[in-house]
Amino acid sequence: MNKPLILTIFRWLLWLLLITFESVVGFPWLSLVVVGQWLLVGSTYQVLGSIVLSSLILAATYSLAWPLAMLAVMILWQVNQQTRKHSSQRWLIYLSVVVVIGWLAGTPLNGLSLVFTFFSWLFYARWWGIWGRNLWQKLGKVSAKS
Amino acid sequence: MALKWWQQALFLLALSVVLSVAGLANFLVADMERVVLPVKHWWTSGFSYLYSVTQNLQQLPKAAKRIQDLELRLAEASVSLAELETTKKENQALRALVADHNQLSERRIITAPVVAFAQPAIAAGELDGIQPGAIVLSNDTLLGQVREVRAHSATVALLFTQESQPILVTTSQGVQGLLIGDGKKIILTEVEKQAQLNLGDQLTTVGQPQIEQGIPVGRIIKITNDPVAATQEAIVEQYVSFFETPLVEVR
What residue type is assigned to position B159 of the chain? L
B31/B28 Cα distance (integer angstroms) = 5
* B50 touching chain A per CB within 8 A: no
Closest CA–CA distance from residue B18 to any residue of chain A (Å): 9
Using CB atoms, which residue from A17, A25, A66 is nearest to B39? A17
ipTM of the complex: 0.79
Determine the pLDDT at residue B86: 83
* Set of chain A residues whose Cβ sits within 8 Å of the Cβ of B17: 67
Tell whether B112 lies on the interface with A, counting CB pairs under 8 A. no
What Å distances lie between residue B95 and B82, B85, B89, B101, B103, CA to CA? 20, 15, 10, 9, 12
Q: Taking chain A, what is the end-to-end CA distance rounded to the nearest angstrom?
A: 40
So what's the pLDDT on residue B232? 87
Q: Is A115 an 8 Å CB contact of chain B?
A: no
B78-102 burial, b at 16+ Cβ within 10 Å, e below that, comes to eeeeeeeeeeeeeeeeeeeeeeeee
Check if B47 contacts A (Cβ < 8 Å): yes
Q: pLDDT tens per residue, chain B (251 residues)?
A: 567 777 888 888 898 899 888 888 888 888 888 888 899 889 989 988 988 898 888 888 888 888 889 999 999 999 999 989 888 877 886 776 666 555 544 567 877 777 655 678 888 888 888 888 889 888 888 989 998 888 888 888 888 888 888 899 998 888 889 999 988 889 998 888 888 888 888 899 988 888 888 899 999 988 887 878 888 889 999 888 888 877 788 88
Output the CA–CA distances (angstroms, integers) from residue A116 to A72, A131, B203, in the order listed: 21, 18, 100
pLDDT at residue number A14: 92
- pLDDT of the residue at A72: 92
Query: Which whole-number Å values give the CA distances from A31 to A35, A131, B11, B79, B107, in the listed order?
Result: 6, 21, 25, 64, 103
Is A48 part of the contact surface with chain B (CB cutoff 8 Å)? yes
Closest chain B residue to the Cα of A45, Cα to Cα: B8
Name chain A contacts of B42, Cβ cutoff 8 Å: 20
The minimal CB distance from B12 to the residues A24, A51, A60 is found for A51
Angle separating helix axes A111-128 and A3-25, nearest 10 degrees: 140
For the whole prediction, is pTM greater than 0.90?
no
Which of B25, B33, B40 comes nearest A24 by C-beta? B40
Whether A110 contacts chain B with CB within 8 A: no
A contacts of B28 (beta carbons < 8 Å): 56, 66
CA-nearest residue to A66 within chain B is B16
Tell me which amino acid residue B94 is: L
Give the pLDDT of residue B100. Answer: 55
Task: Answer whether B28 sits within 8 Å of A70, measured CB to CB.
Answer: no
Alpha-carbon distance of B114 to B153, in angstroms, equals 9
Mutate to test the interface with A, among B3, B7, B13, B15 (most CBs of A within 10 A): B13
Low-confidence ranges of chain A (pLDDT < 70): 1, 128-146
User: d(Cα B90, Cα B96) in Å, to the nearest integer?
Assistant: 10
Residue B17 to chain A, least CA–CA distance (Å): 6
Most B-contacting residue of A18, A24, A44, A83 (CB-CB within 10 A), to test interface: A24
Q: Is A21 on the interface with B (CB under 8 A)?
A: yes
CB contacts of A57 in chain B (<8 Å) are 32, 35-36
Name every chain A residue with its beta carbon within 8 A of the beta carbon of B33: 60
Smallest CA–CA distance, residue A6 to chain B, in Å, is 20
Of the candidates B2, B5, B40, the beta carbon closest to that of A23 is on: B40
User: In the prediction, which pLDDT does B140 show?
Assistant: 82
pLDDT value, residue A141: 57
Asked if the Cβ–Cβ distance from A57 to B12 is below 8 Å, we say no
